[in-house]
């Protein structure tokens, strides 16, 4: 058994009792076809030929009871196995979601969100087939053994003739199983790519429409859709072919048994009912034989998904959380010879700066200068390749990551809101905050007035990404969320760059209130928004080339002055 298969089966160990009960029901269900064969023989030989009315009166309701019992067993077994399957799937999906949240930002940036969603939904859902495969693995062989025993009981000679091909059935089952696993993996990958393609188009639908790019995106989707279609058809073929092939092989034995058994009836050595019962037993073998092939396909399909799911769960995060200390409000934040490399050449080089509590530090520079990377190091979305980021002479890697992040509030360039109420969005990250604290934060962010004007006030749903609100309103909600967090360190990453002048003025007013009493790092393209900073760091090619206040840097006639002139122009 492969390591993946053992790991997957280990997920079902907590449900041994339920699966044992399902197994008992499987044995009951497996015995019913054999019993049915004897009923048919009795009906033909003892009831119809001998015209036994008493036996007929007993057999009629007996058959009804037999089928009712079979149906009840099937329902009970199905409920038990599916309950176990979906419990395992639900728990594993939760574990995968937690693993995705542990992965670093770089991994998420490299992997389309649609593909990530597909892995967490479609791939995990396929693992339910493992339970179906396990139950089938028990039921089908047991049913087959019972029918084989019945066939030999009725007529050993005919059974030997009919079942001579049985050992060879394993050959197509094994070979088709390998194909089913590889084709299922390809189909899942194609489904993930299709999901990623669709998500990109829908996320950027405004850009698509305004750019007249409908035909281009449609063509891209059609290509991905056709790839998905071909992969799915290959997977379906791999799943469907084993059954007919196995059935054909079994038919060879049945044909031989009909020929030999027919001659025995003509010679009077076998009763017609015995031959019919025997042939029914052979006919009933088709289903468990095909079921063995289906079982292998289901298990291979589940294993293909398990490889993907466990692969993601086992992916080590680039950012290890080995800290043991609790982070407190820092009185000083220091970068000591900090450098960073994405693996394609250095992005930041030998950055050193000290920031006192309560200071406002602006980080400016041309695109690609390293501003966003520096913020990622300050918030520990990434760790430096060299040097250290310290809070009060302590490397921030010594702090528990959750504790460190709880001391930092961030307002980004793109205001992100969940499809939930205004209050739930403001509480995000601070779930225990009272309604009074929420309202107070909204007032500081200059958001309370427009929130109160919404149809349900703070209980109004803002829809996905908050698209029913203006850009300035969404940004002020994000500022209120940061204020409610009440963190000693505030990070503003291009917080006003996407706003018009009127919205920018309102947001700047809110930001000014939010920065009071906090150590603040501000990244901004518009130099007009950083004039009041206590310290301005000018980045160029990943290095701090200038530092100081606005007036001082302008007088140097260096990089800062050049950027200022470009903006005026």
Token code pair at residue 395: 């490397």
Spatial CA neighbour of 318 closest among 344, 347, 343: 343
| Band of pLDDT at residue 12, cut at 50, 70 and 90 | confident
Give the model's pLDDT for residue 394.
94
Give the model's pLDDT for residue 355.
94
State how far the Cα of 203 lies from the Cα of 224, in Å rounded to an integer: 17
Give the model's pLDDT for residue 168.
65
pLDDT averaged over the chain? 78
Other beta carbons less than 10 A from residue 401's beta carbon: 17
Question: Which residues make Cβ contacts (< 8 Å) with residue 53, sequence separation at least 6?
Answer: none
Q: What is the mean pLDDT of residues 365-379?
A: 89
| Band of pLDDT at residue 92, cut at 50, 70 and 90 | confident
Q: What is the mean pLDDT of residues 353-381?
A: 91
Give the model's pLDDT for residue 439.
93
| Band of pLDDT at residue 391, cut at 50, 70 and 90 | very high
State how far the Cα of 336 lies from the Cα of 397, in Å rounded to an integer: 14
pTM of the shown model: 0.68
Spatial CA neighbour of 106 closest among 323, 338, 343, 408: 343
Spatial CA neighbour of 438 closest among 417, 459, 419: 459
For the cut 70, the answer to whether the pLDDT of residue 467 exceeds it is: no
Q: What is the mean pLDDT of residues 30-50?
A: 63
Give the model's pLDDT for residue 549.
92
For the cut 60, the answer to whether the pLDDT of residue 134 exceeds it is: no
- Residue-range domains of the chain with CATH: 16-313 (1.20.1560.10), 332-568 (3.40.50.300)
Least confident piece of the model among 196-210, 365-379, 436-450: 196-210
Give the model's pLDDT for residue 27.
72
Cβ atoms 411, 493 nearer than 8 A: yes
Helices (H) and strands (E) counted in the chain, each on its own, are 22, 10
Max avg pLDDT among 88-97, 519-528, 553-562: 553-562
For the cut 80, the answer to whether the pLDDT of residue 152 exceeds it is: no
State how far the Cα of 315 lies from the Cα of 96, in Å rounded to an integer: 11
State how far the Cα of 156 lies from the Cα of 567, in Å rounded to an integer: 96
Q: How far is CA 141 from CA 11, 96, 147, 285, in A?
A: 23, 34, 10, 10
Other beta carbons less than 10 A from residue 402's beta carbon: 11
For the cut 80, the answer to whether the pLDDT of residue 404 exceeds it is: yes
Q: What is the CA radius of gyration of the chain?
A: 35
pLDDT in tens, 167-187: 666 666 667 667 776 777 787
Cβ atoms 326, 401 nearer than 8 A: no
Q: What is the mean pLDDT of residues 135-159?
A: 66
pLDDT in tens, 266-311: 766 666 666 666 666 666 666 666 666 666 667 777 777 787 788 8
**460 phi, psi to nearest 5 deg:** -75, 135
Spatial CA neighbour of 383 closest among 331, 330, 317: 317
What is the three-state SS of 93-112? HHHHHHHHHHCCHHHHHHCC
Bridge partners of 355, per DSSP, are 333
Q: Is the dihedral of CA 110, 179, 243, 26 positive or negative?
A: negative
Helices (H), 314-385: 371-378
For the cut 60, the answer to whether the pLDDT of residue 138 exceeds it is: no
State how far the Cα of 40 lies from the Cα of 401, in Å rounded to an integer: 71
| Percent of the residues in the chain that have a pLDDT greater than 70, as a whole number | 71
For the cut 80, the answer to whether the pLDDT of residue 160 exceeds it is: no
Cβ atoms 519, 490 nearer than 8 A: yes
State how far the Cα of 312 lies from the Cα of 314, in Å rounded to an integer: 5
For the cut 60, the answer to whether the pLDDT of residue 189 exceeds it is: yes
Question: Which residues make Cβ contacts (< 8 Å) with residue 214, sequence separation at least 6?
Answer: 208
């Amino acid at each position: 058994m492969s390591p993946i298969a053992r790991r997957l089966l280990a997920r079902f160990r907590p449900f041994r009792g339920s699966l044992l009960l399902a197994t008992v029901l499987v044995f009951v269900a497996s015995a019913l076809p054999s019993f049915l064969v004897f009923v048919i023989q009795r009906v033909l030989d003892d009831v119809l030929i001998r015209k036994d009315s008493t036996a007929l009166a007993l057999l009629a309701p007996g058959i009804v009871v037999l089928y009712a019992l079979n149906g009840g067993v099937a329902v009970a077994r199905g409920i038990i196995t599916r309950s176990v399957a979906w419990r395992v799937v639900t728990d594993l999906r939760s574990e995968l979601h937690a693993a995705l949240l542990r992965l670093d930002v770089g991994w998420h940036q490299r992997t389309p969100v649609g593909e990530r969603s597909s892995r967490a939904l479609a791939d995990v859902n396929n693992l339910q087939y493992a339970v179906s495969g396990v139950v089938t693995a028990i039921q089908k062989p047991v049913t087959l053994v019972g029918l084989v025993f019945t066939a030999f009981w009725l007529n050993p000679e005919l059974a030997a003739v009919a079942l001579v091909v049985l050992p060879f059935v394993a050959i197509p089952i094994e070979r088709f199983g390998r194909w089913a696993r590889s084709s299922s993996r390809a189909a899942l990958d194609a489904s993930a790519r299709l999901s990623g393609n669709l998500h990109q188009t829908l996320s950027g639908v405004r850009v698509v429409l305004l750019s007249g790019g409908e035909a281009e995106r449609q063509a891209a989707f059609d290509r991905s859709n056709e790839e998905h279609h071909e992969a799915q058809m290959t997977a379906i073929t791999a799943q469907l072919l084993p059954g007919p092939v196995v059935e054909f092989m079994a038919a060879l034995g049945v044909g031989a048994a009909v020929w030999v058994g027919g001659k025995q009836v003509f010679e009077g050595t076998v009763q017609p009912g015995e031959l019919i019962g025997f042939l029914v037993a052979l006919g009933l073998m088709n289903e468990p034989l095909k079921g063995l092939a289906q079982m292998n396909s289901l298990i291979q399909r589940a294993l293909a998904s398990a490889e993907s799911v466990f692969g993601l769960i086992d992916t080590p995060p680039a950012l290890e959380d080995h800290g043991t200390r609790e982070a407190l409000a820092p009185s000083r934040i220091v970068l000591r010879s900090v450098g960073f490399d994405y693996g394609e050449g250095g992005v930041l080089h030998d950055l050193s700066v000290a920031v006192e509590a309560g200071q406002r530090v602006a980080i400016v520079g041309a695109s690609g200068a390293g501003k966003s990377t520096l913020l990622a190091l300050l918030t520990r979305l990434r760790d430096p390749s060299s040097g250290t980021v310290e809070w009060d002479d302590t490397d921030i890697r010594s702090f528990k990551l959750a504790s460190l992040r709880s001391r930092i509030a961030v307002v980004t360039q793109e205001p992100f809101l969940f499809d939930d109420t205004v209050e739930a969005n403001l509480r995000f990250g601070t779930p225990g905050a009272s309604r009074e604290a929420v309202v107070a934060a909204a007032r500081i962010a200059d958001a309370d007035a427009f929130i109160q004007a919404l149809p349900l006030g703070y209980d109004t749903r803002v829809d996905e990404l908050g698209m029913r609100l203006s850009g300035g309103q969404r940004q002020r909600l994000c500022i209120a969320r940061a204020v409610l967090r009440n963190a000693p360190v505030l990070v503003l990453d291009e917080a006003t760059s996407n706003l018009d002048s009127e919205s920018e003025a309102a947001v700047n007013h809110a930001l000014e209130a939010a920065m009071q009493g906090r150590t603040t790092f501000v990244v901004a393209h518009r130099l007009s928004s950083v004039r009041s900073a206590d310290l301005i760091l000018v980045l160029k090619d990943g290095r701090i080339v200038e530092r100081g206040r606005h007036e001082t840097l302008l007088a140097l006639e260096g990089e800062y002055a050049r950027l200022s002139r470009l903006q005026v122009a």
